[in-house]
Amino acid sequence: MSTFAIAELAASPFVDNIIVAIGRKKCFILGIMLNAISCIIFGFASYSSSAPVYFYVSVFARAMSGVGDAIVLICTPVMIVTQYPDKKEKYMGFFVMMCSFGLLIGPIIGAFVYGILGYTYTFYAFFIFLFSSAILA
């Protein structure tokens, strides 16, 4: 399903307005929180006994996650470039490296957590991780 990518694509042109309105750090935290809330929604969706309800709630949560991802992926380079103007090339390289590392290791960690916690509680665990990340940011 391409809901995530469509939402990310649609939201990306508007992130600059959010950054200007609330600031880089609050915008970054907003993106993390949207991802965290989408995890809670996914977890609660699993309790639905209706397949159409589950489907539409999951599509909504996936779209929310795509918007959150767009915000984080735009705010992060902006923060790097403004915080470290003399070393922006080096830190942008680290940022891209860590994005690639996350794409490599994320499915492994997700499968491990899923194997231990099952479908629903995996989303709750990732909510706790994302919410904690937002607080620490």
pLDDT tens-digit map of 13-65: 999 999 999 999 999 999 999 999 999 999 999 999 999 999 999 999 999 99
Q: Count of domains in the chain?
A: 1
Going by C-alpha positions, the residue among 130, 121, 134, 7 that lies closest to residue 60 is 7
> How much of the chain, in percent, has pLDDT values that exceed 90?
97
Q: What is the pLDDT of residue 101?
A: 97
Rounded to whole angstroms, the Cα distance separating 137 from 69 reads 16
What does pTM read for this prediction?
0.91
Query: In three state form, how does the secondary structure of 96-111 look?
Result: HHHHHHHHHHHHHHHH
Residue 1 has pLDDT above 80, yes or no: no
Instruction: Write out pLDDT tens, residues 86-135.
Output: 999 999 999 999 999 999 999 999 999 999 999 999 999 999 999 999 99
Domain range enclosing 19: 3-136
Angle between helices 51-83 and 15-22 (to 10 degrees): 60
**CA dihedral angle for residue 105, residue 61, residue 2, residue 102, rounded to 10 degrees:** -10
